[in-house]
Chain A
Amino acid sequence: MVESEFPECTSFGTVMRFALELERVAVVVNSELAADPRLAAGAETFRSLVENHKKRGNLLENTRREKLNEMVLEPISDIVRENYLMQLDLSKDADLKAAARHAAMIEETSARFYNDSAKIAKHLLSEAARIMERMAKENLVNKAKLEAL
């Protein structure tokens, strides 16, 4: 079972915390899938996603540290946590197709979250918004890779 803690998004800090949690969950899920011998045919893809999401986590951590400025530290009210919550449990006997669909669902949800957050961040922190847009695009590329398995 994948433990997760997604916060309410009321501030820049909580949006970034939510994003970091998405990346952490993606690392955990893809690591488990990569280690499952029954899914060996997809192991390389899952491993590459683990690396990708670790890198993205670091990028987000830096963004949270460096792009924050109190001049634009405004409350956020348009990101509804419930719209991005996911069922993270995967049946133990899931085959490769089901496992890939599961991982793709995380990518798709992340893409949605980043696109929505980027719209909010645009007038607050345009640098952060650009990073979020880039991450959403990357999520969709990842999703396509998984769907090809």
Chain B
Amino acid sequence: MAVLAEVKKDYGKIKNFVNGEWIDSKTSKFMDVVNPATTDVIAKVPMSTRDETSAAIEAAQEAWWSWRETPPISRGRLMFNLKTIMERDFEDIARIISQEQGKTIDDARGETRRAIENVEVAAGVTSLMMGYNLEDGAAANIDEEVIISPLGVFGAICPFNFPGMVPFWFWPYAVAAGNTYVIKPSEQVPLTTMHMVKLIEEAGFPPGVVNLVNGREDAVNTMLEHPSIKGISFVGSTPVAKYIYKKCGETGKRVQAQGGAKNSLVIMPDAKLDASVKNMLASFYGCAGQRCLAGSNMLAIGDIAEPLLKKWLDESKRIKVGYGLDESSNMGPVISAAAKARVLGYIQKGVDEGAKLLLDGRNIKVPGYEKGYFIGPTVFDGVTPDMTIAKEEIFGPVVSFMRMGTMDEAIEFIHKSPYGNAASIYTQNGKWARDFRYRVQCGNIGINVGIVAAMAYFPFAGAKGSFFGDMHGQGKDAINFFTDRKVVITRWY
């Protein structure tokens, strides 16, 4: 099977996009953007300075008032333009995601669709941000109403695992609602965002409405401290999410900070084995386990453990690991050498702490891509709740198989985790499913679904150490995050 063509082999030096212009950064610091399957350097990304980041924020501030005065229907029309252009470039977007992030082209196409869906939902801003009123609401002859208004400049600090989707959880809603925006993509995967911003420019958004700044700490800290930024959306690790939450608190900004996860999938004795296993494969191994919704702990309840484990091992061995642009691959590499080393460290830790390594993905060789950051499906049995691999986020294709007696035991284990992103149950029993949904303190609950990824018109939830803030990305939550409510009480004499 031929590997799909890359959109470009080399993207050169990445530019920032400020006030409608593509600008070279003046920094002397650049990082390599590496294709994780081939390890080829495919671009150089600038570590933009504080001044450059401030310039982008100020351009957004400058553009804000006239954008705010643009009627919502006109703002929505630009979203329709963008949707059309994204559909035209659908395959290019997916291939860039796969090339720079490593995920399979199927995963990348799914991600591209998610980005487009957010644009589609944001295009309905006229309905989404409509206020409400009540005649004689305050008293006789005194009416009361609520107007929903934009706030100014917002910014997103984005992760490496979903370069096409995560920025779209936020900016389309912010901008459709009349705010302006600064996006800082992950320095590991800046190419998808660069391409998307080119499409945003082509769609006709006025200069300054959407700005792009590449970089790391300097760019992030400038965004967190700049007085013109009204709020920050972040997705990444829990320590950084906490830092961002704290900093935004200090500087009086709104914040929605999505952190890490340690998701458990509970398989009840009556689960449909074949269907459940197939579904869980995508959860544990999709995106090489680098999803905040990825399955990590597999909790087998009662006597399903043995047949489940056998079936799981059989299916795991059949996962084809390879370059994401080879359509026959089921799983690509992890993002970097450092990420690979980290995951391998966890596997060693599992061995050292006494878990049984039934399937070892450490020494996998992918023909033609020998230098790539690949890790094969890895399965541990005999994992106990106190082991590191049962507690910490691994962010790789590693399965911690645990045996438990009851669903209560599983829920107790889930609740001991500091994280609360997602949990799933596989069962045919409605009572068990209902109990699980009712009791489990996680933001995203799956019932016979292993990747509980909310659609664009629902919030991408999260709880405990997996989310810091009040309002989530996507849907009405996003509109609420990016707007304020103004109460007007009117009396005429």
Contacts and interface: CB of A to CB of B under 8 A. Distances in A.
Given A8-B328, A11-B328, A73 B106 contact: yes
Contacts of B110: 68-70, 73
B453 A70 contact: yes
B130 interface: no
Interface stretch (B25-33, B61-69, B315-323, B361-369): B315-323
Contacts of A14: 1, 327-328
A71 interface: yes
A70 B327 contact: no
A41 B477 CA distance: 64
Contact of B327 (A7, A65, A68): A7
A81 to B, nearest CB: 10
Contacts of A77: 318
B1 A68 contact: no
B284 to A, nearest CB: 11
Contact of A13 (B109, B318, B319): B109
Contact of B109 (A10, A68, A75): A68
A20 to B, nearest CB: 11
B274 to A, nearest CB: 10
Interface stretch (B219-227, B251-259, B275-283): B275-283
B105 interface: yes
Interface centre among B1, B90, B318 (most CB of A within 10 A): B1
Nearest to A75: B330
B279 A17 contact: no
Contacts of B90: 65
B449 interface: yes
For the residues of A in contact with B, the DSSP-based class is loop
Interface string A61-81: 000111011111111010000
A13 B286 contact: no
Interface in B4-29: none
Given A68-B113, A123-B275, A75 B328 contact: no
B229 interface: no
A113 interface: no
Nearest to B455: A69
Nearest to A65: B90
A10 B282 contact: no
A2 B451 CA distance: 42
Interface centre among A5, A75, A123 (most CB of B within 10 A): A75
A66 to B, nearest CB: 7
B140 interface: no
A46 interface: no
Contact of A10 (B315, B320, B453): B320
Interface in A76-92: 77
Contacts of B187: none
A72 B279 contact: yes
Nearest to B109: A68
12 contacts: A5-B2, A7-B327, A10-B320, A13-B109, A14-B328, A64-B109, A65-B87, A68-B106, A75-B281, A75-B330, A77-B318, A123-B275
The 3 closest A-B pairs by CB, nearest first: A13-B106, A70-B110, A7-B1
Interface of A: 5, 7-8, 10-14, 17, 64-66, 68-75, 77, 123
